[in-house]
Amino acid sequence: MSRASLEAIRSATPAVLPSLLLCDFGDLKGEVARLADAGTKVLHLDVMDGHFVPNMTYAMPIVEGLRRHTDMPLDVHLMISDPLAYAKAMVDAGADMLTFHVEAVKDAAAVAQEISDLGVNVGIALNPETPLALLRESLPHVDMVLVMSVEAGFGGQKFNPVALEKLQVLRKEFPDLLLQIDGGIDTSTIGPAREAGCDLFVVGSAIFKKDDYKAAIAELDDAIAKAEGTAS
């Protein structure tokens, strides 16, 4: 299941991943259906513990609920202090990818390996001010790097272009590694992120604050396509 879901994610790239934090949880099934109709291939879930980051969000029950309503890969971003404490429960609930923060753990390589041993794909995330050097030892143990373009867990921040520099370095040094970006992604920032080598683009407001999800995602896809045309 783990390898199959990873291949499904890879085959979808470049892909817009709706971040369900802003969706209507009173109609989760309907929201998933609307996103699927709009062409979504992978769903992104932000899990916050109120400790590693100041906000709190959903946990395993929402992952379980989504798993009942869709076969799409579930990309779960753990913005929590102790990812290993909840990793197995998240996998059992139906997560296909678990991404933890390098800033939250002492030995990122060991944490990545333990999560991988649960039979799930592994991502590692870093905040804008965190140097790439901090995660290099863990890269042989992960399937994806999530480059944050805003500080994790804080709303209303501006897109930090340092994320583009990190993406460029990672893409050059690790051409086969999946790269994801999260924070402030809209039609003005998604193109530069693609040009920098990004594969997966986590989007919240630019989708969920629009009435027409299909049109919103189509605009984002168009911006990606234009960036690829410029790059070629």
The pLDDT profile of the chain, 232 residues, written as one tens digit per residue, is 567 899 999 999 999 999 998 888 889 899 999 999 999 999 999 997 767 676 767 778 889 989 999 999 999 999 888 999 999 999 999 999 999 999 999 999 999 999 999 999 999 999 999 999 999 999 999 999 999 999 887 655 689 999 999 999 999 999 999 999 999 999 999 999 999 999 999 999 999 999 999 999 999 999 999 998 765 4
Active site residues: 46, 182
Q: What is the pLDDT of residue 21?
A: 85
Query: Is 19 marked as a binding-site residue?
Result: yes
Query: Is 50 marked as a binding-site residue?
Result: no
User: Any bridge partners for residue 43, and if so which?
Assistant: 74
Residue that has been written with the tokens 């369900």 in this structure = 20
Task: Report the alpha-carbon distance of residue 63 to residue 65 in Å, rounded.
Answer: 5
Q: Report all structural domains of the chain as residue ranges with CATH numbers, in order of start.
A: 2-231 (3.20.20.70)
Query: Is 26 marked as a binding-site residue?
Result: no
Contact 172, 142 (CB under 8 A): no
Q: What is the pLDDT of residue 232?
A: 45
